[in-house]
Chains A and B, each alone.
Chain A
Amino acid sequence: QVQLRESGPRLVKPSETLSLTCSVSGGSMSDMYWNWFRQSPGKGLEWIGYVYHSGSTNYSPSLRGRVTISIDTSNNQFSLKLTSLTAADTAIYYCARRGRSTSGWYQGIDYWGQGTLVTVSS
């Protein structure tokens, strides 16, 4: 069973950089897209971006310029960095896997971490 777990600070000051790590267990990181999502308090879900196992990335235009997602397959981890934080970045951050069948077909965002609440406040 694949499991994902987010780790990182719960409180970050405005203008600073958020760094979160997602640890993956129970499965290989190969041939998969590894995603970050967030959910502001009481709000809906927002896709932040993904990193492929090769290291290629794709980011949401609304965050491009502030976000970097990287992967460390040797340690079964991938990470999120978000710069120039404001109160609007306060949210639960989820890491998640985009699933695929053995023949490569899309199978949804099939595994999610439990989420970590990050508060941006001085």
Chain B
Amino acid sequence: EIVMTQSPVSLPVTPGESASISCNSSQSLFHSNGFHYLDWYLQKPGQSPQLLIYLVSDRASGVPDRFSGSGSGTDFTLKISRVEAEDVGVYYCMQALETPFTFGPGTKVDIK
């Protein structure tokens, strides 16, 4: 199975500043259809995960444009510009290229 890693483990942020989370996969997530099957999810405290980004850089419906994704191959990044208090929680990357779908261990974002 594809192993996903993330860094950092914990990320204290100041409201209004930007933050970046890295995600790496043990093999390329590129599909022959031209897309990389890499998603980002946010799990707020006490809630279910919610989809932020799919196919590396497409924002899900209702997700603010402060969230952006980039990357290719095995290296991916989620950037949060102008962090707000409501952005706290654990961020997970997930590969959907092949089953079993696998998640990174998560990055906990909280406010300084």
Contacts and interface: CB of A to CB of B under 8 A. Distances in A.
A52 to B, nearest CB: 12
A35 to B, nearest CB: 8
A99 to B, nearest CB: 8
Interface stretch (A16-24, A42-50, A74-82): A42-50
Contacts of A45: 41, 43, 49, 92, 94, 103
Interface stretch (B14-22, B50-58, B80-88): B50-58
A90 to B, nearest CB: 18
Interface string B81-112: 00000000000101010011111111000000
> How big is chain A's contact interface, by range?
20 to 34
Given A44-B103, A47-B102, A62-B100, A108 B48 contact: no
Given A112-B48, A113-B48, A58 B106 contact: no
- The winner among B43, B50, B55, B100 for most chain A CB atoms within 10 A is B100
Interface string A31-51: 000000000000011110000
Given A44-B105, A108-B39, A114-B48, A61 B100 contact: yes
Interface in A94-114: 94, 98-99, 105-110, 112-114
